[in-house]
């Protein structure tokens, strides 16, 4: 047991360091970070413009940085009551409105872009080593299960590093460009959202590496991963629109087996809703991953 754990630690450390040396991975991470932070910067500028237009309509002085009007509105009890009446869910509104709107903005962007980072970075990871024959040298020293699990763990650490660095970069940006960004709580909210985005990304990591175990071509693995991602999105939307009573309850399976069916509760702060969502996302990642392993364990390398 100790030998197996030591072997796994070595494999995970190698996978993480080897991925950081890969030109493709570095390029994707840079593009991901630049796109996410550029989108965040654009969102701040758009918010600032909207606030100044609102101030002009009310004949009030324009603010020099974004977030002043939004923060005041966010804390308004009357505004909260309006949102509660519009959504019909008091608990969710109260939870979200206790979070800085700047942090919520970062959370939405990180949730949107993370699957793209995961699929582009991780989908070719196993298939590329199978196609060039390097996997055979590693599998002389360890089992196939240990080898693919080290890929999963190493890539998960890499994605987490990218998201945490983006959260830090976004907080620094918000510190200088917004009112709400100048607080420790906003930074912690952004860090929390980066970890929640990682949880969502883990489901797609399992999908990407599950597909990668079934393919020999890295490019084909990437393409099939994106097709599978679209397929899961279609299944989720169909299931959400058609679920109901009687036989229509079978569409609940579509919600259960897709990341979209559990994403909404990742926005929650109440552990009663948040923890099951996290566990489902992690479970889906392992499910997709081991479906691929069923094929990989019998594959002729």
Chain centre to alpha carbon of residue 104: 14
Which residues form the domain of 94? 2-297
Q: Quick one: how many helices (H) and strands (E) in the chain?
A: 14, 0
What is the overall mean pLDDT for the chain? 86
Q: How far apart (Å, rounded) are the C-alpha atoms in residues 193 and 198?
A: 8
Instruction: For residue 178, list its beta bridge partners.
Output: 66
Domain count within the chain: 1
Q: What are phi and psi of 8, to 5 degrees?
A: -65, -40
Packed helices 271-296 and 184-212: angle between N→C axes, nearest 10 degrees? 20
CB atoms within 10 A of CB 74: 20
Q: Which of 45-49, 117-121, 216-220, 294-298 has the lowest mean pLDDT?
A: 45-49
pLDDT of residue 224: 96
Task: Count the Cβ atoms, other than its own, within 10 Å of residue 12.
Answer: 20
CB 125 within 8 A of CB 151: yes
For residue 276, pLDDT beyond 70: yes
Q: What is the pLDDT of residue 153?
A: 93
As given in the structure block, the two tokens for residue 84 are 């509660």
> Given pLDDT bands bounded at 50, 70 and 90, which one contains residue 59?
low
User: Going by C-beta distance under 8 Å and a sequence separation of 6 or more, which residues neighbour residue 182?
Assistant: 174, 175
- Dihedral of the alpha carbons of 56, 59, 63, 64, in degrees to the nearest 10: 70
State the DSSP string of 197-221.
Answer: HHHHHHHHHHHHHHHHTT-S-HHHH
pTM, rounded to two decimals? 0.90
Helices 144-177 and 23-57: angle between axes, nearest 10 degrees: 30
Alpha carbon of residue 111 to chain centroid: 5
The first and second tokens of residue 259, run together, are 């990341």
- The tens digit of pLDDT for each residue in 17-50 reads 877 777 778 888 888 999 999 999 998 888 878 7
The helix (run of H) or strand (run of E) holding residue 284 is: helix 271-296
> pLDDT-based confidence at 119, cuts 50/70/90?
very high
Cβ contact 67:87 at 8 Å: no
């Amino acid at each position: 047991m100790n030998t197996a754990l030591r072997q796994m630690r070595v494999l995970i450390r190698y996978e993480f360091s080897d991925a950081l040396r890969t030109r493709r991975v570095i390029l994707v991470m840079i593009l991901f970070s630049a796109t996410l932070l550029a989108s965040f910067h654009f969102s701040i500028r758009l918010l600032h413009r909207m606030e100044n237009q609102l101030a002009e309509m009310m004949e009030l002085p324009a603010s020099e940085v974004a977030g002043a009007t939004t923060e005041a509105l966010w804390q308004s009890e009357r505004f909260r009551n309006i949102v509660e009446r519009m959504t019909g869910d008091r608990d969710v509104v109260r939870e979200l409105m206790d979070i800085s709107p700047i942090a919520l903005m970062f959370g939405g962007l990180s949730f949107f872009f993370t699957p793209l980072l995961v699929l582009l970075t991780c989908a070719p990871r196993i298939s590329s080593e199978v196609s060039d024959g390097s996997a055979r040298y590693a599998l002389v020293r360890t089992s196939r299960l240990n080898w693919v699990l080290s890929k999963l763990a190493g890539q998960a650490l890499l994605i987490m590093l990218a998201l945490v660095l983006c959260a830090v970069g976004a907080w620094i940006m918000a510190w200088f460009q917004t009112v709400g960004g100048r607080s420790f709580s906003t930074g912690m909210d952004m860090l929390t959202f980066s970890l929640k985005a990682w949880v969502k990304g883990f489901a797609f990591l399992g999908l990407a590496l599950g597909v990668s175990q079934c393919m020999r071509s890295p490019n084909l693995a990437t393409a099939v991963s994106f097709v599978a991602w679209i397929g899961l999105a279609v299944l989720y939307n169909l299931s959400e629109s058609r679920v109901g009573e009687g036989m229509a309850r079978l569409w609940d399976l579509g919600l259960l087996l897709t990341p979209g069916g559990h994403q909404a509760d990742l926005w929650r702060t109440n552990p009663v809703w948040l923890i099951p969502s996290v566990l489902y996302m992690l479970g889906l990642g392992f499910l997709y991953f081991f479906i691929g392993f069923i094929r990989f364990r019998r594959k002729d390398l």
